[in-house]
A = this chain, B = another copy of it.
Amino acid sequence: MDQKQQLLLDTVKKLIRRGAYSNLSKVIGKTHPADIAHLFPHLTPKEQQTLFNLIEDTETAASVLSELDYVSGAQLLEKIGQEAISEVLQEMPYDDAVEIIRNMPEEIAEEILSTMKDEHSEEIEQLLKYDEDTAGGIMSTEFFCLPEETTVQQAIDALQQASDVEMVFYVYVVDRHNHLVGVLSLRQLLMVPPSRRLKEIMVTDVISVRTNKDQEEVAQLVERYNILALPVVDEWNKLVGLITVDDVIDVLREEATEDIYKMAGASEEELLYGHKSFKVARLRLPWLITNLFGGIITGYLMWRFRMTLEAVIALITFIPVITGMGGNVGGQSATIVVRGFATGNIDFSTLRKVFFKELRVGMIMGTVCGMTVGLVAYLWHHNIYLGLVVGLAMVSAMTVAATMGVLAPSFFKRMGIDPAIASSPFVQTANDITGILIYFGTATLFLAYLH
């Protein structure tokens, strides 16, 4: 939060506290809707409500709501009157209204839809049918398209009249059955004689997606071809919606957050629950319990080797470092692979190269760490064999961990399981187990020399 925002926040809080609503109303009247929205996470629910009710202009209220994350938006709306809700939602772009309705309890959502004007509620219900994570789920239905027979002059006239349409940069051209047949940029429109027909000047090679396309693939397309808007068509190639680049930016943020959360064994769903600790704990627990049993298996293996340990108690000193380093190296390799899959940098055809690279990197790092820890072991316990055992175990454990870090996510990806969620606990447990086996295995072999 920068200084300007902080100042605004302080002012708003002060004015709410004093009940100086007419002053407050003036202040927010001069503020950009996005900046108003930015205040909300820092206000109490009651302050949020007061502030939101003071926004007089419905259109501004709608813009503020569009900029809030959908969960907060839904929670805010639940508290204001139902007619006010419908009014605000009608002013919002349909795609944002749909997201907010998705995040409301079902009964409330249904009531709201029933109080809306038919033209709006039908449109919204149509959009609600698409899966949230697909092109249909994020597209806007307010786009600008014209028949192919239109002349340039008519197109310019139509553009001047269109008011309700989000960011017009391209004109999409359809045939009389509403099939998408071409596209034109506004700039191209300016560059040809007014009497030409669109079909003579349009670009016919339009990049479009089907409604059921996964949103992550949509983002990759927009990124790859540097386009600002992507038309969405149904199975008969009829134009049904438009995805603009601002939606794509939201998708990219969302998907990155999702991956980061998953890799740590959390879920982006917990953002919905805010500070409800039990719900958040419930989301994180399955992953922890998996790891818990992994840890118990590791413990069981140590228990099997207790004779070795009782014989040479100094061995305990290096248990944490051996299992820990295996986990770290495995985690590094797994992260590289999981992120590579997500950005398209790595796929199955390049996996072999990645595997051997990580193997080599693991060996190099293992050698450095093994020599370091072996030296520490020797100097500390004055036993060169202990140093040797610890060092050798470290090299092997780290090398194995690096390869495991590549294999696990690839395996899960191949099985159709999201590698981000599955790799972490698996890699960690596997590396703990192999680390302990290698360490105590080596120690048992050299037991005679360790005393």
* Binary CB contact string for chain A from 336 to 364 against chain B (1 if under 8 A, 0 otherwise): 10010001110101100100110011001
Q: Collect the chain B residues with CB atoms within 8 Å of residue A265's CB.
A: 328, 331-332
Q: Is the pair A266, B350 in contact by a Cβ cutoff of 8 Å?
A: no
Q: Collect the chain B residues with CB atoms within 8 Å of residue A332's CB.
A: 264-266, 284
Q: Does A324 contact B (CB under 8 A)?
A: yes
* Binary CB contact string for chain A from 163 to 192 against chain B (1 if under 8 A, 0 otherwise): 000011100000000000000001100110
Q: Is the pair B288, A325 in contact by a Cβ cutoff of 8 Å?
A: yes
Q: Does A113 contact B (CB under 8 A)?
A: no
Complex CA–CA separation, A38 to B223 (angstroms): 12
Q: Which residue of B lies closest to A41 (CB)?
A: B350
The A contact surface, by secondary structure, is: helix
Q: Does A369 contact B (CB under 8 A)?
A: yes
Complex CA–CA separation, A405 to B228 (angstroms): 39
Number of interface residues of A (CB under 8 A): 107
Q: Which residue of B lies closest to A255 (CB)?
A: B256
Report the copy number of this chain in the oligomer.
Answer: 2
Q: Is the pair B156, A168 in contact by a Cβ cutoff of 8 Å?
A: no
Given the contacts A313-B309, A361-B281, A373 and B292 also touching, CB distance less than 8 Å: yes
* Binary CB contact string for chain A from 376 to 400 against chain B (1 if under 8 A, 0 otherwise): 1000000000000000000000000
Residue of A278, A296, A302, A309 with most partner-chain B CB within 10 A: A296
* Binary CB contact string for chain A from 269 to 313 against chain B (1 if under 8 A, 0 otherwise): 011000101101100110111011011101110110010011001
Closest Cβ–Cβ distance, residue A253 to chain B (whole Å): 7
Q: Does A224 contact B (CB under 8 A)?
A: yes
Q: Does A437 contact B (CB under 8 A)?
A: no
Given the contacts A186-B187, A332-B266, A364 and B223 also touching, CB distance less than 8 Å: no
Closest Cβ–Cβ distance, residue A443 to chain B (whole Å): 13
Q: Collect the chain B residues with CB atoms within 8 Å of residue A321's CB.
A: 292, 295-296, 298-299
Complex CA–CA separation, A148 to B336 (angstroms): 51
Q: Collect the chain B residues with CB atoms within 8 Å of residue A271's CB.
A: 345
